[in-house]
Structure formats: C-alpha cells, structure tokens
Amino acid sequence: MSEHHGPAKGIKRWIFATNHKDIGTLYLWFSFAMFIIGGAFAMIIRAELFQPGLQMISPEFFNQMTTMHGLVMVFGAIMPSFVGLANWLIPMMIGAPDMALPRMNNLSFWLLPFAFTVLLSSLFMEGGAPNFGWTFYAPLSTTYAPPSVTFFIFGVHLMGASSIMGSINIIATVMNMRAPGMTYMKMPLFVWTWLITAFLLVAVMPVLAGAVTMMLMDIHFGTSFFNAAGGGDPVLFQHVFWFFGHPEVYIIILPAFGVVSQIIPAFSRKPLFGYDSMVYATASIAFLSFIVWAHHMYTVGMPIAGELFFMYATMLIAVPTGVKVFNWITTMFKGSITFETPMLFSIGFVFLFTIGGFTGLMLAIAPADVQYHDSYFVVAHFHYVMVAGAVFSMSAAIYYWLPKWCGRMYDETMGKVHFWIAFIGFNIAFFPQHFVGLAGMPRRIPDYALQFTDFNMMSSIGAFIYGAAQILFLFNVIRTIVAGKKVDDPQVWEGAQGLEWTIPTPAPYHTFTTPPQVK
C-alpha cells in the first residue's frame, strides 16, 4: 500500500492522474488554453468591427467566429476553469484527502480535450465551422446548418458527459468526504456555491443532451421536432435550450460568487457578513434559475401570460442577488482593508457584476426587452456578467490561491498592473456597447451603420487592451511558478480563513490522509 507516494514522473503523471491537485492543474491549464483561443476569436471579431463595412473577413467567417467564441469561452474556458478550482480547493477546504471518485475525475477531464479538438477541427471542414451562434437555434442549426454541425453535436455530448461526471464527483465529495465536525453550515462558501452549481449541472446538462439529440435526429433521421411542416416548432428548440441555458448562466456565476465570498473577508480582515443568508440566497438563485428561462425569448410570440410570469420571476432573482451584493459590501464596511491583487479583482467583480445585474433587470422587463432584444445592449450585459463576473473572479482566485499551490508569491506590482489594464480595457470595450445597443445596433452582424463607428472603435481598442492584459497575466503566472519569491507560511495571507490555510505551503501532494478535526 502506498501512503506516501509522490507524483509519478513525466507525462504519466498527467494522463493517468487521479490526484485532485493534478487534475485541477490540468483543468486550469486547459481552460486557459481555451481562453486564449476563444480570445483570439474575439480579437478577430473586434478587428472586423473596428470600422464599418466589410474589412477583413467574410460574413460567413464572422458568423463562425461569433459562434465559436461563445462556445469555446462558455464550455471550454469558464466552466472547466471553475471545475479546476473545485478540484484543487474542495478537498482541501473540507478536510478530505481527495475527490470521492478519483478515476472518474480523470475521465471527466480527458473527455474535454477530445471534445474541443472535435469542435475546433470543424473550422477546417467543408462548409466551415458552426455558424449559427452559440445558442444554436433551430432551424439555423438544423435545416440550414453546415455539415460540421454533426461534429458540433457530438462535441457537446462529450462536454455534457464530462460536466455531469465532474458534478456527480463534486456532490459525492461534499456530501460524503467532509472531515468530522465540518457540518454543512460550516462549509466555506466556495464549497456551498459549488455544491449547488453541481446540482444545477446534473439537472440541466441532460436537457442540453436532449436538445442536441433532437437536432441530430432532425438533421439525419427525418424527424420534425423543430420543423413546423411536420407539426413541430422551432420555438420548442429555444424553450429546451434555455431551460438548460438559464441555469447554465448561474452555473458559471455561482462559483464566482463563492470565490469572492472567500477573498473579500480575507482582505477585509472580517468574517463574511451574513453567511447563512449567503447560503440561502445561493439556493434561491438556483431554484429561480429553473423558472425564468423564457426571458431570453420575449420576442418569439409567447402568450402574454407567459411573458408576465417570466418577467416577474426574473425580477425576483434581483432579491437574492441583492442580498449577496449587500453582504459583500457590508463585509468590507469598517474592515481593515488592504488592496492586494485578489482583492482588487474581487472589488472589481462586485462593482462590474452589479452593473451587469442592473442591465439584466432592464432586460427582464418584457416590453422594454422588445427594444433591447438581440442588440449590443445584450452583448454588453452578458459580458459584464461573464467577463467582469466570472473571469475577474477567476483571476482573483488564481492570485489568491496560487501561492498556496506552488509555494511561490506572484509579483504584486505586475498583478496590480494586470488588474488595472484589465479593468480599464474591459470597460472601454464593453461600456460603449450599451449605447450602440440602445441606439439600435444589432448583435452578430459584421457590418454596422456609420453613426456607430466611434463607439465601435473604442470597443475594439478596449478589447485589444483587455486581450493584452491576459498575456501579462499568463507571464505573471508562469514567472511565479518557476521563479516567484518563496513562501512557506501556511497562512500566506494574514486574514485568510479555512482549512486550506492550515496545511503547509506549498500544499503537499496528498493532504489530510487522516481527517482533521473541525471545531
């Protein structure tokens, strides 16, 4: 029996991995690679939109870029990055030696590189890559789709299988592997948000699988789920998709909530304000996420009763979200705050995510949404939530826990520079999009009316600045891992709370082979 074995040598360590830290590392690097690829697609989009008229790429290729940018960022960058974080942190936070089902953990990861190889290879196929938008509405994705849609469908099946297995693993770990004394209401909030996220994933990924399976049947086997000629309905696709798609939004943002709920108390040197209400708010958001999906579809011609129901249900989400924002701010209130990079990103998160939340409220109002629908206002809204929400909190998480993981401190100045470039670049890129959107610029179109030129140029410049900031981030992370200043204090940050700060720094290959006692 091997109780004190270290990592295996060479490539075997990674492809045969069962260690939660190794698999977490794999997830994080994979998601960063996808972040770079998806970011490159975004740069192509912004370069094309720098000036009106068709400048660099064909409209067909532009459609492929918007589609692939969305798919790669959502399924390849953001989701796996938080699974990577979960792998690294959950066992250390609850006092477990590893994830509950380590071999399945490895399978969850290794499905992803295959899935994305299949998806990205469609760029080189006859007829081009998927070009129907990341929401792949029928009949664009069925009757009028390029042949590569078949590869896309199976790619989505693989990602879904990976997510379901990863989530089952997280649920089993949290329910079954907590150290003695670690009751549910003592768990760090990151663990709570991930437990609820995992539940959402197990509930809605199968629905996505059902949606793409029906597409596959319509394309290849002559069924008519999404074809009115046979008695089906293209709008049915949107209902099924958004039944998955709206919880998916919270799947992306809930772990981000968890991250900032760990970091803000640490740098405010105060315990999190309203822990219980944070837990209940998270659960409420998860519940509401199942009954609001059609707010993405106000303009498809739903009955008025449906529009009203989904409008009011959507607005309800503002209540638990408001509780969260209130709690983060109240945690900082009268704290002895210092502004290290993770804290800067967390405060940036709270500020910008709240803006994204407010624009979300505007979009929730059915009669107003008829004007905003499919405009750049929507693009601005969800980038405030996805980028300034999920990606900012991910950056915060990396700076916060990287010293614990590798025993070396990142360069604080470079980290702060990264934050400010990212923050300014992000706002230059996306704030003007609110205005062009309200003025009527539609999304997913490679050309635009002349009066939108100035704001689009600003947007593009901001996007390039934000993109450049990520290169600095990559450099800082690599520099930290190979040459950062050594840290050996288990605490790392003086205000940090939780079991992961009680083990040595860097975190040993196996932690908690005997369970810690939690008082």
Partner 1 sequence: MTAQTGGADTYYVPEQSRLAICLATSVAVLILGAAIGLNQMTFGSGDANWTMLWLGLLGFVVILAVWFRQTIVENRAGMNSAQLKHSYALGMQWFIFSEVMFFACFFGVLFYVRNLAGPWLGGEGAKLMTNEVLWPAFDFSWPMQTTPQEAVGGVADQIPANTGTFVGPKESVSWSGIPLINTILLLTSSVTCHFAHVALKADKRSAFNLWLGLTLILGFTFVGFQAYEYYEAYNHLGLTLEAGIYGSTFFILTGFHGFHVCMGAIMLSVQWLRSTVGGHFTPDDQFGFEASSWYWHFVDVVWVGLFLFVYIL
Residue 517 Cα to chain centre, angstroms = 33
CA pair distance 4, 406, nearest whole angstrom: 19
CA pair distance 420, 293, nearest whole angstrom: 35
Coil, strand, or helix at residue 409? strand
Specify the residue, 68 or 256, whose C-beta has the smaller distance to partner 1: 68
Specify the residue, 150 or 497, whose C-beta has the smaller distance to partner 1: 150
Residue recorded with tokens 């990341």: 134
Q: Does 139 sit behind a cis peptide bond, omega within 30 degrees of 0 on the bond before it?
A: yes
CA pair distance 140, 66, nearest whole angstrom: 14
CA pair distance 177, 20, nearest whole angstrom: 13
Q: How many CB atoms lie within 10 A of CB 176?
A: 10
For residue 125, give both structure tokens: 């196929």
| Nearest in space to 440 (alpha carbons), one of 457, 452, 424, 428 | 452
Q: How many CA atoms lie within 13 A of 60 on its CB side?
A: 8
| Beta strands at 408-409 and 485-486: parallel, antiparallel or unpaired | antiparallel
CA pair distance 165, 156, nearest whole angstrom: 14
Q: Look at the alpha carbons of 385, 389, 390, 392 in this order and tell me if their dihedral is positive or negative.
A: positive
Q: Which helix (H) or strand (E) holds 486?
A: strand 485-486
**Which residues are designated catalytic?**
69, 98, 134, 162-163, 246, 248, 250, 261, 295-296, 321, 324, 443
Least distance from C-beta 516 to partner 1, angstroms? Answer: 11
Measured in degrees and rounded to the nearest 5, phi and psi for residue 443 equal -80, 165
Q: Which helix (H) or strand (E) holds 171?
A: helix 149-176
- Close Cβ partners of 167 (under 8 Å, ≥ 6 residues apart): 197, 198, 199, 201, 202, 205
| Nearest in space to 401 (alpha carbons), one of 470, 498, 282, 274 | 498
| Nearest in space to 24 (alpha carbons), one of 136, 127, 117, 99 | 99
CA pair distance 345, 391, nearest whole angstrom: 9
| Nearest in space to 262 (alpha carbons), one of 342, 178, 352, 175 | 342
